[in-house]
Amino acid sequence: MQESTLHADELNGFIVIDKPKGPTSHQIDYWVRTMLNVERVGHIGTLDPGVSGVLVMALGHSTRLIDVAHEDPKEYVGVMRFHGDVDEKKVREIFSLFTDEIYQIPPVRSAVARTLRKRRIYSLDILEMKGREVLFKVRCDSGTYIRTLCVDIGYMTSGGGQLEELRRISTGPFTEDMCVTMQDVSDASELLKKGDNRLLRKILIPPIFLFRDKPKIVIKKSAMGTIAHGSDLYPGGIKAVIGNPVKGDRVCVISEDNGVVGTGIMLTPAEEISDVKVVDFDRILIDPPDVSEKHVEPRKSEMVRYGNQGRNKKVQKFGNRPHGNFPGTERRKNSGNRGWSNQPKESPRFKEPPSGIREKKDKRRIHR
């Protein structure tokens, strides 16, 4: 049976995978790409093989929004185990010390450079504590290493500590209750081959969901073409402003049918929009419209003969000296002007051009 072809709008969006323990995030990428026959697939926030939970997959043009999604905080639930006996009151005091901006050095086995970095911990709560084990919940900046966080907390005690279990429960607006399994993706793929895309539409989240709590600018249809070709947004192309973005805010630019056109930085407050550029785009999600190339007949040149017509006809070749068979042309007396003038042959200034053509020197020849 021939596979059904996905339309562009169906390829564009997010799928929230409930990643199990074992495979890497890049393996999940490959499986989703293979199952759905999608060319561009990427994930938002890498999870270690031993970590489970929310792994957001971006499909199609939505892969251009991965960097924007990385700006949103992530939330985890984990289990930490201390190496020695600790007092619960002291543990709670230590946890409170890490609720703010912290400094981290990525672990040795990481995909980034091991340089000192600053990350923000928005909340770090102890849900339950039993013996040496602590069940905690943390909300933090993207790029925070929870394993390193647990090691640093352990250093504050006499015996140390380490991470035992970890699960991601949210990535920005994508939460755990939106997760689907790899089996669901496989089922959607098999139904798609039979021409049924209902399950795929059910699990595919539109790109605009990423910006549900952020300011948006609606543009006119007439501005879509120029923006697709790289133009920034000016007041004439704006139809409406949703929210109250100020200068420096990242805004989402959408079409009249609620599709994401791109994102950019606001250059002027919403209430002060005048006649200057409004949004400086940093990414565009739409492609320029397909324009079929018009067939243009090649212009006949004086230097080119077409077919057998005019095969024996003499052709003027422009260069530093006139052709010998074309009388009536001579070099001007003014040596600074290298043009040609049409003078009659009877002109006293006419000089017969040399009959031969000097052979070009071979610069590659070595003279001894």
How far apart are alpha carbons 37 and 10 in whole angstroms?
12
- Residue 153 CB contacts under 8 Å (≥ 6 apart), including other chains: 80, 94, 95, 98, 161
Distance CA 88, CA 82 (A): 11
Task: Determine if residue 17 is left, alpha or beta; phi over 0 gives left, psi from -120 to 50 gives alpha, anything else beta.
Answer: beta
Verify whether residue 141 is a known catalytic residue: no
Q: How many CB atoms lie within 10 A of CB 228?
A: 16
Q: Report the distance separating Cα 192 and Cα 196, nearest Å.
A: 5
The pair phi, psi for residue 350, each rounded to 5°, is -70, 135
Round to whole Å and give the CA distance between 146 and 143.
Answer: 9
Q: 9, 18, 29, 48: which is the annotated catalytic residue?
A: 48
**Is residue 343 within 8 Å of residue 349, measured between CB atoms?**
yes
The torsion region of residue 80 among left (phi > 0), alpha (psi -120 to 50) and beta comes to beta
CA distance linking residue 192 with residue 200, whole number of Å: 8
What positions carry a catalytic annotation?
Answer: 48
